[in-house]
Structure 1
Amino acid sequence: MTVSPQDTLPLHRPIRVESITLRPVPVEVVPEHDALPAIAAYLGVVSVEALKASYSLSRNGERVKLEGMIKAGLHQSCVVSLDAFPVELNVPVKLDFAPEAEIAAMAKPSEDDEIDIEVLLNEEEPPEPIVDGMIDLGTVTLEFLALALDPYPRKPGVAFSEPAPETPAESPFAALLQLKREQ
């Protein structure tokens, strides 16, 4: 039995695509209180006190549109003082999902051997894959929350001050030179 990366995540909320209708379906993801320490460890933060994701899902054919907001209260460790400090996050989420086969077909290069890559700045993100007819909203929640965290968190009011330059140490022979001058 192989272990997929999703099996190691501390938050799961799978939803079957067939249960999603054309009319938006509201879904909330709120982890159990005893899962919060594992989520904090996964995110690399001191603690997670509260986490709630509110999503709206709608389906058009085999494609799914997800929009919503993640609200989290957590503690991060300051990179300057190493003190834990509270952080409140409100993370907007907007994703499209499509069947894996459709995404694979979009990713295939043309029949030419030459691959031409063009970067378009205003191009929308490609859709996320629907795996085995399921979307894991726990994975979506953790990924967007991890991306929203400040990689170098600084406690409010704490500033990094460069240490004063050290005065060069006297040479051990300076005392001998001083003695020689005195003689």
Structure 2
Amino acid sequence: MGRLGLLSLDGLTADCRIGHGLSGLVTVECEWVADLSQACVVTLAPICQSLSGEFQVSYQALEGEGVVENEVLVDPEADDPPEPLPREGIDLGELVVQELAVSLDPYPRSEGAELPGRYRQSEGEGETNPFAALKVLKSKQ
């Protein structure tokens, strides 16, 4: 729970299937469901939620010394290339936790929670931008 910043993790189940393909290709398909609570970023009140997801990861067994090519071609439309198959094996639990981590709301907020007035921007402050200070410096020249 500390690793993910959760107040509680009431349940986490995963159904993973491992398949073997040609040329040492190993695929992992997984569906997961989690019941958890996070702290509201405004009130720190617990927010209970259920999350679910699915993912697929491919691994390729490396032959010989496991030499990896230096050149990598990236096609954003194509499937991810297989990762090298770890010598110690595939940690299914770690795969599920990583998927849960990227599915969490980074700034959970309770319904109706608002910042106290002293922390909100006033009307004129909303117009400032990072370059406003530079503009003032330029006008002094």
- TM-score, scaled relative to structure 1: 0.56
Residue 86 (structure 1) aligned with residue 48 (structure 2): yes
Instruction: Report the CA distance between 1:133 and its aligned residue.
Output: 5.7
* RMSD of aligned residue pairs (Cα, Å): 2.3
Contact 2:42 / 2:115 at 8 angstroms: preserved in 1?
no
Alpha-carbon distance in structure 2 between the residues aligned to 1:78 and 1:128: 36
Structure-to-structure mapping, 1:119-138, within 5 angstroms: 119-132=74-87, 134-138=89-93
Identity %: 28
Deviations 1:123-161 (A, max 9, x none): 222223311161110111111111111111112x23435
Structure-to-structure mapping, 1:1-183, within 5 angstroms: 40-61=1-22, 62-100=24-62, 105=67, 107-109=69-71, 119-132=74-87, 134-155=89-110, 157-161=111-115, 163=117
Contact 1:100 / 1:131 at 8 angstroms: preserved in 2?
no
Stretches of 4+ moved more than 6 A in 1? Answer: none
Alpha-carbon distance in structure 1 between the residues aligned to 2:81 and 2:68: 9
The letter for the 2-side match of 1:75 is S
Contact 1:77 / 1:84 at 8 angstroms: preserved in 2?
yes
Contact 2:47 / 2:108 at 8 angstroms: preserved in 1?
no
Task: Evaluate the alpha carbon distance shift between residue 100 and residue 46 of structure 1 in structure 2; reply closer, same or farther with a 3 A threshold.
Answer: farther
Q: Which runs of 5+ in 1 are unaligned?
A: 1-39, 110-116, 166-183
- TM-score, scaled relative to structure 2: 0.71
Task: Evaluate the alpha carbon distance shift between residue 101 and residue 152 of structure 1 in structure 2; reply closer, same or farther with a 3 A threshold.
Answer: farther
3-state DSSP of counterpart to 1:135: coil
3-state DSSP of counterpart to 2:117: coil
Instruction: Report the CA distance between 1:60 and its aligned residue.
Output: 0.8
3-state DSSP of counterpart to 2:80: coil
Alpha-carbon distance in structure 1 between the residues aligned to 2:107 and 2:41: 6
Task: Evaluate the alpha carbon distance shift between residue 129 and residue 118 of structure 1 in structure 2; reply closer, same or farther with a 3 A threshold.
Answer: closer
Aligned residues: 117
Alpha-carbon distance in structure 2 between the residues aligned to 1:41 and 1:100: 35
Structure with greater Cα Rg: 1
